[in-house]
A and B are shown apart, each in its own frame.
Chain A
Amino acid sequence: MIAALGMTMKPDHIRCEKFEARSRHYLVRMGLFRIMGVPTDISVVEHESAGRFIPLTQIKTSDELSRFIKDMIPLLYLGAEQAKTIGYIVSELGRNVIEHAEAENGAVLCAQYYKKSNAIRIGIADTGLGIRATISRSHSAPTDLEALRLALWPGITGTTRREGGTEQNAGAGLFFIKSIASVNRDFFVLYSGSGLYKLLKKPVKRKPRLHADPFEDRHSKESDLPPWRGTAVGIDLTLDQTEAFSTLLDAIAKTFRDAVRERYRARYKRPRFV
């Protein structure tokens, strides 16, 4: 988010105070200063990033995103099933920005592997219109938080009021990502405007149940955070518990179908008995 915000400024308008934190080397290695165009005197010995992290990367076009996904997977040394899951998530999140956000600087992505927990954290941020502005083109979203709820609901897209979306948008991308996180008992957070939705990790002993309404999942939410002009998404994938991708699809398919059917039925006209 800092990188995305910094990219909206001219580099000579950004002043960095002297870093004392031990994490300063990490910020350099992840490319924070490079992507903002700000010089730094923090010196680091650059080790091979393969298998550990993907530095901050700016993506503005569809082809850049496809190339990024193709290059990213080998760098993270993932198994085939994990690669499918992560490729899927990055593709859907990146395309949301490219297609809907109208962000001048596109999307800023990065990823980090944590050996101790055997998990990958992926972050993507933009400084575009934000979810409320885009979803409100077709649906009523009185607050940022309500807009997040709608955006996570399957079958709802800002591109049309029509159920089922348009020929180019189904309105299901974020629902799939939240569902992948839910089935894997992973962490997922979505922040836009003043609203934040956080899917909480589910206890291992409880079988995960997917819901169309994100507010029915185990979650926390905020509605009055400092406004983020744009959208930021974070997801943690614990690789030890990442289900085979086809198993994830089985779980998602039923919820998706039921949710869409439920929404259609809610709009059916009822017979009038007099």
Chain B
Amino acid sequence: MKPIVILEKAGVFAENKDIAREIRLRDLLPALEFGEEVTLDFGGVEAATQSFIHALLSEIFRKHGNNVLDRVAFKSCNETVRKVIGIVVDYLQEGMGIETGGEGGGDPFDPTRQNG
């Protein structure tokens, strides 16, 4: 499991999309290409913009489909970061024609979640 510590790269407010792109291209995509599992560690990150999370995750959904959520875990997310990730993950799956949950939407942090 390859850990990627977001705080080290993006700081307490993860908003710089250039940094998100760098993480995606240098760390996230290569690890997934090699068949590795990845943990995105948001410990210490107080907030993130949807633009940052979209820039981080969008391409991996397009390349690997939503099954990529079986190989990417989100660690130590506070409530705000969780919600932003939830919105973006739902959005990306809607774009792939996959229905997400009801009122609360799909929860990428739910260990019992069924993907596919």
Contacts and interface: CB of A to CB of B under 8 A. Distances in A.
Interface of A: 62-63, 65-66, 69-70, 80, 84, 87-88, 91-92, 95, 99, 155, 163-170, 172-173, 176, 245-246, 249-250, 252-254, 256-257, 260-261, 264
A245 to B, nearest CB: 6
A253 B55 contact: no
Residue from B62, B88, B95 with most neighbouring chain A CB atoms (10 Å) = B95
A67 B46 CA distance: 16
B70 to A, nearest CB: 20
B86 interface: yes
A84 B14 CA distance: 11
A252 B84 CA distance: 10
Contact of A168 (B11, B21, B94): B21
Interface in B70-84: 79-80, 83-84
Contact of B13 (A87, A169, A172, A173): A87
Interface of B: 11, 13, 15-18, 21, 24, 46-47, 49-51, 54-55, 58-59, 62, 79-80, 83-84, 86-88, 90-92, 94-95, 97, 100, 103, 105
A257 B94 contact: yes
Contact of B83 (A66, A170, A246): A246
A170 B49 contact: no
A250 B13 CA distance: 19
B94 A260 contact: yes
A95 B17 contact: yes
Looking at A63, A80, A84, A167, which has the most chain B CB atoms within 10 Å of its CB? A167
Contact of A165 (B16, B21, B24, B58): B58
B30 to A, nearest CB: 15
A172 B90 CA distance: 13
Contacts of A249: 80, 83-84, 87
Nearest to B59: A167
A contacts with B: majority SS: helix
Contacts of A165: 54, 58
A69 B19 CA distance: 15
Contacts, number: 102
A246 B94 contact: no
Given A95-B17, A170-B58, A261-B94, A253 B51 contact: no
Given A167-B62, A260-B91, A173 B80 contact: no
B91 A91 contact: no
Nearest to B55: A168
Nearest to A84: B47
Contact of B49 (A92, A99, A257, A260): A92
Contact of A176 (B11, B15, B50, B79): B50
Contacts of A176: 50
A194 to B, nearest CB: 28
A214 B83 CA distance: 23
A168 B55 CA distance: 5
A63 B10 CA distance: 11
A84 B94 contact: no
Contacts of B100: 257
Nearest to B87: A253
Nearest to B46: A84
Nearest to B48: A88
A164 B55 contact: no
A212 B95 CA distance: 16
Given A88-B47, A264-B97, A164 B91 contact: yes
A166 B24 CA distance: 14
Contacts of A155: 91
